[in-house]
Amino acid sequence: MLSRGAAGWRALRWAGRRPRARGLRASPRAWSAMPSWVIDRYGSNEVLRFTRDMVFPIIHFPNEVIIRVHAASLNPIDLSMRSGYGATALNMKRDPLKLKTEETEFPLTLGRDVSGVVMECGLSVSYFKPGDEVWAAIPPWKQGTLSEFVVASGNEVSFKPKCLSHIEAAALPYVGLTAWSALNQVGGLNKSNCSGKRVLILGASGGVGTFAVQLVKAWGAHVTAVCSHDASTLVKKLGADDVIDYKSGNLEEQLKTLPLFDFILDNVGGSTEKWALDLLKKWSGATYVTLVTPFLINMDKLGVADGMLQTGVTVGSKTLKHLLKGVHYRWAFFMPSGPSLDEIAELVDSGKQDACPARTGTLSVLEYSTR
């Protein structure tokens, strides 16, 4: 089963009161508030606040569902958002027409992953019904999952893998969809074209990296993983054919001794981009995909218009530069997708991957308890 490695994160549990019984249609009159972890400003950990008076979510569109949260997990994106990362772009997405009278996103609930039970469905939702066990990754411009309830679009939700508990399931959606976006939607890899390809994964022991190792291995690729020595046992267990310790010497020189690669997934960024593309097979369709991009930072620093312009110039020039050298250069981002989660759930339930996620003891999972 697909595993998520995020070493050093601290496991958390929190308890709330047992919710009262409610009818099919939730409304402010029936239930006006719920417990939630929120922030009222950007900053470090002290800005986090627990409240029992967060406004209860309401279905605004017919394709939405309300999910009762059984478990949620924390990702690096939550820490970044807590500090204000991406606020300019996310606020534009939250209110593109500037219809709100108050220009504030607060109180803001963090948390992207959720595993829980459907409580209510919009009128156009036919694929789910109340009582279904589901999982999802909520987009960062929406209120998050560190609450008793959360609203999601039906096309962002999928049935939870049967073999996973809610705690285990909550560890996978965000990293799984991020890896899926990079490998499949941007990189073009899939189970029908991946067999025999040489894939290099930089930063293979993190959440996205451990998922990516298992995914491309399940699709038949030869996987070379780069991580620290203390994570090598885990990464080998997840299916990597070759594991290289980036601390054991000059990483670039170590990788140059290996045959060239068909695909590189870069979870590290920084100086690796300067030399990693030289490891690809030229004029063969080989692709480099990085998850470390300046898109949100540019908008935070330069504003929406100038930030988008600078981003466009950067990605355009890099794409053209490397295309002329015979390789493809791409940026990838997290993309919410229920259909992609359906495919991930099928892989998890098939048992093709090793080690259930939360059993590794390396996750930060927040469970809502009704006891």
Distance CA 108, CA 42 (A): 10
330 φ, ψ to 5°?
Answer: -140, 150
Name the H helices within the chain: 76-82, 87-94, 166-169, 173-180, 207-218, 232-237, 251-256, 272-276, 295-302, 304-323, 338-350
Is 70 exceeded by the pLDDT of residue 34? Answer: yes
187-331: CATH topology: Rossmann fold (3.40.50)
Q: What angle do CA 297, 226, 186 make, to 5 degrees?
A: 50
How large is the average pLDDT for residues 302-318? 95
Proportion of the chain above pLDDT 90, given as a percent: 82
Instruction: Report residue 3's pLDDT band, with 50, 70 and 90 as the boundaries.
Output: very low
Is 80 exceeded by the pLDDT of residue 298? Answer: yes
Distance CA 216, CA 200 (A): 10
Is 60 exceeded by the pLDDT of residue 240? Answer: yes
Q: What is the CATH number of domain 33-170?
A: 3.90.180.10
Residue 184 has what DSSP assignment? I
Domain with CATH 3.90.180.10 in the chain: 33-170
Is 60 exceeded by the pLDDT of residue 2? Answer: no
Domain with CATH 3.40.50.720 in the chain: 187-331
Distance CA 184, CA 170 (A): 22
Q: How confident is the model at residue 352, as a pLDDT?
A: 61
How large is the average pLDDT for residues 138-143? 97
Is 80 exceeded by the pLDDT of residue 280? Answer: yes
